[in-house]
Amino acid sequence: MNTLHKYLARDLLKATCISAAAFTLLMTILGLFEPMRKQGLGPRQAMALFVFTLPVMMSFTLPIAAVFAAALVYGRFSQDNELTACRASGVSTINVLKPALATGAIVTVLALALGNFVAPVLAGRAGAMFLSGAKRYFFNTLKRKGTFELDRFIIRSDQPDLQNERLVGVVGVIKPDKNEADDKARQAAAALATAEAMRSAAVTEDERNAADAKIREARMQQQQAREMRHRIEFGAAATGHLTGIKTTPEGDIYVGIYTNRAIHTDTETFSLTHLRAGGFELPPMSNPTQEKVRWYTWARLLRTVRDLTQHVEVRRELRGLRQEISLEVFSREFKAAIDAGDSYDGLESDDRSFHIRAPKAESLTPSEVRLTGSYDVVGQEKDVVVDVFRDGELEQTVTARHGRVIAKHSPVQGRTLVTIELTGFVQVRYADEPNLAPVRKHEWTQAGLPLPANIRAAQETISLADLCERPAELTGNQSIIDRVMTLRDHRMPKLVLELIAEMHERVAYGASCFMMVAMGAALGLIFRGGQVVTAFALTVVPAALVILMVFMGKELVRNPETPMLIGLAALWGGIGLISIANGLIYWRLSRQ
């Protein structure tokens, strides 16, 4: 009996290994390795990524390979009349199937281990490997396509130079935001309809004139909406240098570029984040290995269910809101100092500090304050003034009619940076040359200044859990409070369903391996499916049914509109059906 079991186990092992190797190699090459190679990874990086990805793919292909091997081996065993010989020798059919059942149990354990422990760890390493090749990917995409497109933003370079990390002939393009244009068109249409109704109901001449003015304004807005749909803004620079590629803990990849001059458009500066004069950062690059719930280990799934602030989407959102709170605090403190007639001296960089004074300050956004000059009671002009100190001593004084102080978070540098911009009759006076005439400039910019240390320290004290639970205690900004409430009351319950669905799907898929292997072996004996085509057909039908119901049930569980019990019933229903089918099949075989 041991000889028979060893004989069957050896054939099962050989067929399973060959099938798993073939399926895994095919899925890895077509699904990830070849696209990554084409996107610019070097041979060494591509091979390392290939090695990391193989176990990940095997967690999906191993159960199918085991089912295929069981149907093939037992089909051949039955077709060659070896089953008849065993029965004639008094060996029961159930005894013959024991190696298949043992194989199914082993495959189940391996599938659960790969899917819950090995694959998530290796997927994280594959993500780090892709990050190390992100620079090559960026330059190779520019070289191959001529452009690099992210969201509405397009970068074009005539000569991308990877070796020197330089771009020659940089052009930045901003495509029209059609959603914004559509919203503006709808608002204009509603305003026009209201104005026309007012015109029809007007009785006096003044009422008709007021209605006509509103009609003209609404039609002007409609024209602006039509222009927005087709307006493409662009700016250019002679050269650009890569300032860095940075990843966030959530797996987003950001690219920073420094050009020999700032790229401006007609309506906005192309720099989404001011790094320094001429610097800008692109929206996040797409990362195929970006952190997903699918790549959470089982322990991390359990921790995330208990504390949803560890979920990648929740963490990204709350960190962004925490940064907004720090920007708001800085802008409020800055404006309060200016309104009180004091000098704001909280901005420092290396050995320099900046003291800012201005007659008037106006908050344009929570992260931007506009400074303007004015005239005193005797008509004397009062400018915006920035005193620059080096090592505690005055180095230069810059005056201008207007100015802006802008705070933006830089994902590339991983911190919030402040930019001081002065425009309008800019004059620079140097303290060590008091007798010389001031230097006149069109504009003066100082960028890359860190937030004051006290604001950075206060930001770090805000935990994500506290922000999620008690936003009103941490900020008075109703917009931030509303977004936290929306996240907590609407999106987070959906994410809980996503986690529950992922956990049930993993366990169900692992448990189904045993059932599918057991059925594949039994069907191979019954239908004598020794031929490859027959064995494959016998494999596909039950396996496809179970896998389809598992993944369909997972989607139903994730859908908040569907009761969870229905989704779980569908997810586990396939395993229930195949268990019943196995019970009937094995009952029939036990009687033979």
Q: Which has the minimum average pLDDT: 138-152, 401-415, 442-456? A: 138-152
Checking if the pLDDT of 472 tops 80, the result is yes
Checking if the pLDDT of 37 tops 80, the result is no
Do 50 and 152 share a structural domain?
no
Checking if the pLDDT of 34 tops 60, the result is no
Total domains in the chain come to 3
Q: What are phi and psi of 517, to 5 degrees?
A: -65, -40
Residue 553 has a pLDDT of 92
| pLDDT tens-digit series, residues 533-561 | 676 676 777 778 888 898 899 999 998 88
Do 254 and 210 share a structural domain?
yes
DSSP for 435-458 reads TSPPEEEEEEEEEEEEPPHHHHHH
> What is the spatial distance between Cα 94 and Cα 589, in angstroms, rounded to a whole number?
7
Residue 408 lies in a domain: yes
| pLDDT tens-digit series, residues 221-232 | 888 778 777 666
Do 264 and 331 share a structural domain?
no
Do 556 and 429 share a structural domain?
no
| Residues facing residue 164 across a β-bridge | none
Residue 31 has a pLDDT of 61
**Band of residue 194 on the pLDDT scale cut at 50, 70, 90:** confident
What percentage of the chain has pLDDT greater than the value 90?
Answer: 19
Do 144 and 128 share a structural domain?
no
Q: CB-hemisphere CA count at 13 Å for 447?
A: 19
Do 270 and 155 share a structural domain?
yes
> What is the spatial distance between Cα 368 and Cα 447, in angstroms, rounded to a whole number?
14
How much is the mean pLDDT over the chain? Answer: 81
Residue 167 lies in a domain: yes
Task: Specify the higher pLDDT residue, 161 or 33.
Answer: 161
Residue 477 has a pLDDT of 85
Task: Specify the higher pLDDT residue, 163 or 314.
Answer: 314
Q: What is the mean pLDDT of residues 474-502?
A: 91
Residue 275 has a pLDDT of 36
**Band of residue 263 on the pLDDT scale cut at 50, 70, 90:** low
Task: Specify the higher pLDDT residue, 479 or 37.
Answer: 479
Do 75 and 197 share a structural domain?
no
Task: Specify the higher pLDDT residue, 527 or 315.
Answer: 315
Q: What are phi and psi of 229, to 5 degrees?
A: -70, -20
**Band of residue 484 on the pLDDT scale cut at 50, 70, 90:** very high
**Band of residue 123 on the pLDDT scale cut at 50, 70, 90:** confident
Residue 244 has a pLDDT of 67
Do 115 and 86 share a structural domain?
yes
Give how far the C-alpha of residue 441 lies from the chain's centroid of Cα atoms, to the nearest Å.
42
**Band of residue 504 on the pLDDT scale cut at 50, 70, 90:** very high
Residue 507 lies in a domain: yes
Q: Which has the minimum average pLDDT: 258-272, 349-363, 408-422, 511-525? A: 258-272
| pLDDT tens-digit series, residues 202-221 | 878 888 888 888 888 888 88
Is 239:259 a contact under the CB 8 Å cutoff? yes
Do 503 and 454 share a structural domain?
no
Do 144 and 117 share a structural domain?
no
Give the domain-ending residue among 413, 446, 461. Answer: 461
> What is the spatial distance between Cα 168 and Cα 156, in angstroms, rounded to a whole number?
9
Residue 291 has a pLDDT of 64
Residue 308 lies in a domain: no
Residue 533 lies in a domain: yes
| pLDDT tens-digit series, residues 371-416 | 998 765 555 678 999 999 998 889 999 999 999 998 888 777 778 8
Range of the domain at 145: 140-281
Give the domain-ending residue among 461, 483, 510. Answer: 461
Residue 478 lies in a domain: no
Do 128 and 156 share a structural domain?
no
Checking if the pLDDT of 276 tops 70, the result is no
What percentage of the chain has pLDDT greater than the value 70?
Answer: 83
Q: What is the mean pLDDT of residues 193-204?
A: 84
| pLDDT tens-digit series, residues 73-114 | 888 888 877 777 887 777 888 888 888 889 989 999 998 898
> What is the spatial distance between Cα 354 and Cα 341, in angstroms, rounded to a whole number?
16
Residue 302 lies in a domain: no
Residue 2 has a pLDDT of 75
Give the domain-ending residue among 281, 316, 334. Answer: 281
* pTM of the predicted structure, to 2 decimals: 0.74
Residue 7 lies in a domain: yes
3-state secondary structure of 530: coil
3-state secondary structure of 434: coil
Residue 540 has a pLDDT of 75
Residue 365 has a pLDDT of 82
> What is the spatial distance between Cα 173 and Cα 160, in angstroms, rounded to a whole number?
17
Q: What is the mean pLDDT of residues 275-286?
A: 59
Residue 84 has a pLDDT of 78
Do 147 and 121 share a structural domain?
no
**Band of residue 270 on the pLDDT scale cut at 50, 70, 90:** very low
Residue 379 has a pLDDT of 57
User: Which structure tokens are listed for 137?
Assistant: 């990917």
